[in-house]
Structure 1
Amino acid sequence: MKVLNILNPVERGGGESMLMDLLTEKRVGIHEEVVLVSKCEYLTEQFDIMGINYKEIPFNIKNIPSSSKFKKLFNAFVQIIWLLANYRYLKRFDVTILHSFPIHFFSALLKNCVIVKHSVVGNKKLVNRFFAFFFRKAHKVIGVGPAVVQSLDAYYEIKSTEVWNPVASEYFDAPQLPSCEDDEEINLVHVGRLVHGKNQALSIRACSRLQEQTGKRVNLHIVGHGELETELKEIARDYSNIKVNFCGRLDKSEIINLVDKCDVGLLPSSAEGFGIAAAEYVIRSKPVVGLLESGLHNIFGNVGVFTTAETLDTAILDAIQLAKKVEFSDAVSLMKERLSVSSVKDRYIGIYEEACGPILKS
């Protein structure tokens, strides 16, 4: 069975992590290829190492703000032209998995098309009648997060299913390191790109209030890189009562070691497609603290504390207490079952077979 994944990449984002993990989990009888809607050197380097066939759609604009209407229109135009020009190539595949908008609109052209919508709070496009017409042309719609499934079922009665993004096997396999057991110290980690919407500044301010509230030493480790790094470092200098460590980009083993040593994982994003960092915290048995507006509580509500920006400091204390409860350990065990690469891959295979019949294993 030939499967094509079409992805609009953000370097080292959650969707990219998911795709890499799924492609790494080989299955007999399945050949997978990738089309990248925009260039991503990190992914192409990994594909070259893994021997995965891929294509890139050229000419997408990367150096102007993503909110620009001109950029959106130009990129959409390029994608449409590429799709039509490569129609014969696309038709060679038994199943096409679309992770990218606006190519969703052309799902009617593709054989056994499966649309994946990554959103834990739903999406305006899901309640758009014009967009729904193209959804109906797809063979299957996968909602990564319950809000997508609820929207599709409620508005259009479209055949949909919920599949979570997987967490890399390294997070399951690495031995658990002990936390820093110090009653006078609180260690926190915030993993995410340093961009608007990830809200590292909220974490810094919440940690400062936490220190004032408890009198304990508060250490915040910020993992990631991005356009706001300089600005965030300036903000951190204004809060001298806490220690903020900007770790930069770390590999998986380094993130695992850091998370293990912390008490709580922070992810107070304004919105998330899935929140893979939250899932990684949970696999390492750390509670998540985030914002209600992000929608992450729809998935991680049993293993975290979700609140408003003004009460993040209190939520951190609540999360520390949550981690000590038996109910938390039980919830983590259930999450691990759903978040393993093997489990998610099996769910996708079920969707492949539903689309075009049993996989022939030679």
Structure 2
Amino acid sequence: MACILKLPTENSVGVISITTPERDSQIANDPALRSAIEGMKRKWLIGLHHNWHDHNFRYDPLFDFSMAGEDDLREINGTTVPLVPMDACNFVPETFKPRTTEKFWDILYVARAVQFKRIPEFFQCIRDLYDAGHKCRVLFICPVPSYDAKNQNTVFYNIREVYDTMFIGAERDLFNLLTIDYRYPFPFDLDTLAHFYRSSKLFVHTADDERRCRVAGYAWASGIPVVAMNCVAGLLPPEARKTPYFYEAKQYADFPTQIVRALRDQSSAQWDTALMERFFIETKSTDTLNSYLQKIAMDRGLPYDLENLSRKNLSIRLGRHHVDSEGPNSLNVKLIDLIEWISNNPTEAQHALQSEDPERAMNIKKSELGLLERLRSFISKF
């Protein structure tokens, strides 16, 4: 959903980030809403959070910046796009910070049972390791959605059958596959999930077309390297797209070799914890975000102070959208209702911004006024 990062003051602009699903489903289809957002730009920076990479991106000056890495967007006309090279995946809760924990599993993979995660390729990677004599302990946490026939082409429903065919006997004692069919897509609380990360030596991700992966961000925040294809490295700052943080597999046949290499390097790796915290641990990465936002504001000639940035729960809030149903990744409030409520309730909005989930804390009620009356009312306030 739209995420309120900062409210405007007399001496500083506010910042709101809108997701690409909201851009496509609401703003693109509602000229009045677009006009309302344009009317905010004297006192607000309007950001666009890209929930997926876009290699056919068309720059829209409605948005002052895009939250995406430099390789995540390809502007079709060659226009320079103002970037904040961070997104929801960069704001990992502190519970993931490294601790002195026994490394029980050699390999961890966390992925929903969907086809683009390339789970059969992950299984083949572990099969190749075992066949080569590398008896690694593996934990694969895999939330599985309820069966729906229309999703058969996108969901890997027969995951357990494939696993049981490929691994037998004692191999299943080494390779723990947890298929979880409740509380989809987030079955574990974050403290529990963080324990699994800290108890593992490295993280493997076999997707070949996923650029900014939350689960990889958790790994780097936890102090463990990631073995993956180049697309996954886009979440890292450029100076960290190398060992010991990232081991690139150029093709699927490279995964076993890179896993063995990463495990071998564990004892001698020079890990820069401070660098990882600046880009992945929420209490530090929000400072990094603040610096990027200040530069964007300066480039637009707008005043910006480094105070009052909302710092809580950004890993969820930034990528969540306003839709017609309530859920872990959505809020059943229209974007226009959120903007109107903030304009009419500045004191309450400021209080809400201190809560764990500000947008949910805002007591937003749908207006009984007509759309045009509402637009005129709150545009005048900006």
If the length of structure 2 is used for normalisation, what is the TM-score? 0.59
Tell me, yes or no, if structure 1 residue 354 matches structure 2 residue 299: yes
Alpha-carbon distance in structure 2 between the residues aligned to 1:231 and 1:35? 36
Tell me, yes or no, if structure 1 residue 147 matches structure 2 residue 97: no
Q: Which residue of 2 aligns with 1:342?
A: 287
1:85-164 aligned within 5 A: 85-93=32-40, 94-99=44-49, 119=53, 123-126=54-57, 131=58, 134-135=59-60, 137=61, 140-142=64-66, 144-148=68-72, 151=74, 156=78, 158=80, 160-161=82-83, 163-164=85-86
Of structures 1 and 2, the one with the larger relative CO (CA 8 A, separation 6+) is 2
Q: Which residue of 2 aligns with 1:245?
A: 177
Q: Tell me by how many angstroms 1:191 deviates.
A: 2.0
CA shift digits 1:177-225 (9 cap, x unpaired): 42336xxxx5321123321211122222211221222352532222434
Identity rate, percent: 11
Contact 1:266 1:290 in 2 (8 A): yes
Tell me, yes or no, if structure 1 residue 168 matches structure 2 residue 91: yes
Tell me, yes or no, if structure 1 residue 180 matches structure 2 residue 123: no
User: Any unmatched runs of 5+ in structure 1?
Assistant: 7-18, 39-55, 58-74, 100-115
Contact 1:287 1:323 in 2 (8 A): no
Aligned to 1:234, which of 138, 161, 169?
161
Higher helix share: 1
Q: Which has the larger radius of gyration?
A: 2
Give the count of matched residue pairs: 272
Are residues 164 and 81 of structure 1, via their aligned partners in 2, closer, same or farther at CA, if it must alter by over 3 Å? Answer: closer
When structure 1 is superposed on structure 2, of 189-198 and 138-147 the one drifting more is 138-147
Q: Which residue of 1 aligns with 2:217?
A: 279
Are residues 175 and 337 of structure 1, via their aligned partners in 2, closer, same or farther at CA, if it must alter by over 3 Å? Answer: closer
Q: Which amino acid aligns with 1:266?
A: V
Are residues 32 and 358 of structure 1, via their aligned partners in 2, closer, same or farther at CA, if it must alter by over 3 Å? Answer: closer
Are residues 199 and 167 of structure 1, via their aligned partners in 2, closer, same or farther at CA, if it must alter by over 3 Å? Answer: same
Alpha-carbon distance in structure 2 between the residues aligned to 1:259 and 1:311? 23
Alpha-carbon distance in structure 1 between the residues aligned to 2:139 and 2:207? 16
Q: Which residue of 2 aligns with 1:261?
A: 199
Q: Tell me by how many angstroms 1:125 deviates.
A: 0.9
Alpha-carbon distance in structure 1 between the residues aligned to 2:143 and 2:91? 18
Name the SS for the 2:292 alignment partner: helix
Q: Which residue of 2 aligns with 1:305?
A: 247
Tell me, yes or no, if structure 1 residue 208 matches structure 2 residue 127: yes
Alpha-carbon distance in structure 1 between the residues aligned to 2:204 and 2:71? 22
Are residues 344 and 224 of structure 1, via their aligned partners in 2, closer, same or farther at CA, if it must alter by over 3 Å? Answer: farther
Q: Which residue of 1 aligns with 2:183?
A: none
Alpha-carbon distance in structure 2 between the residues aligned to 1:282 and 1:156? 32
Alpha-carbon distance in structure 2 between the residues aligned to 1:85 and 1:92? 11
Alpha-carbon distance in structure 2 between the residues aligned to 1:26 and 1:173? 29
Are residues 163 and 314 of structure 1, via their aligned partners in 2, closer, same or farther at CA, if it must alter by over 3 Å? Answer: same
Contact 1:118 1:143 in 2 (8 A): no
Alpha-carbon distance in structure 2 between the residues aligned to 1:333 and 1:160? 26
CA shift digits 1:282-336 (9 cap, x unpaired): 11111101124x3526834331211111231222111112333343x13x54232
Alpha-carbon distance in structure 2 between the residues aligned to 1:352 and 1:301? 32
Name the SS for the 1:289 alignment partner: strand
Q: Which residue of 2 aligns with 1:13?
A: none
Q: Which residue of 2 aligns with 1:288?
A: 226
Are residues 311 and 264 of structure 1, via their aligned partners in 2, closer, same or farther at CA, if it must alter by over 3 Å? Answer: same
Contact 2:113 2:156 in 1 (8 A): yes
Name the SS for the 2:109 alignment partner: strand
Are residues 86 and 143 of structure 1, via their aligned partners in 2, closer, same or farther at CA, if it must alter by over 3 Å? Answer: closer
CA shift digits 1:85-123 (9 cap, x unpaired): 324532342222123xxxxxxxxxxxxxxxx5854xxx4
Name the SS for the 2:90 alignment partner: coil
Q: Tell me by how many angstroms 1:350 deviates.
A: 3.0
Alpha-carbon distance in structure 1 between the residues aligned to 2:67 and 2:18? 21
Alpha-carbon distance in structure 2 between the residues aligned to 1:315 and 1:36? 35
Tell me, yes or no, if structure 1 residue 270 matches structure 2 residue 193: no
